[in-house]
Amino acid sequence: MIVESTNGDVVISENDKVRFITESGEVKIGNVVKLIGKGDKLKIQLMPSGKECEELWSVLQIADGSLRLYVEDEEEDIGDEE
């Protein structure tokens, strides 16, 4: 799956850790288990971080431009300075 980003196109594959925001504003972080379908019918099977159940998300439920590869440091870089 190819996702457009401000830094160019990013390829998202099975087993990648991703982050996205749903249309309802919920932030989701987890590993891609499987990509199902194509185009507007594409669904992402996700194992959310810290959960034991997989979730299935349609790309239509994901806010435009919010899907990206997750970087561990992106929310933890505040307060690391001495």
The pLDDT of residue 80 is 43
Q: Please state, in angstroms and rounded to a whole number, the distance separating the CA atoms of residues 82 and 75.
A: 18
| In the chain, domain spans | 2-71
For 1-48, how does the pLDDT look when each residue is reduced to its tens digit (9 = 90+)?
777 665 667 789 999 999 999 999 999 999 999 999 998 899 999 999
Number of other residues whose CB lies within 10 A of the CB of residue 3? 17
Q: With 80 as the cut, is the pLDDT of residue 75 above it?
A: no
Q: With 70 as the cut, is the pLDDT of residue 73 above it?
A: yes
What CATH number labels 2-71?
2.30.30
Beta pairing class for 17-21 and 2-5: unpaired
The pLDDT of residue 2 is 76
Note whether 26 and 33 are within 8 A (CB): no
The pTM score is 0.79
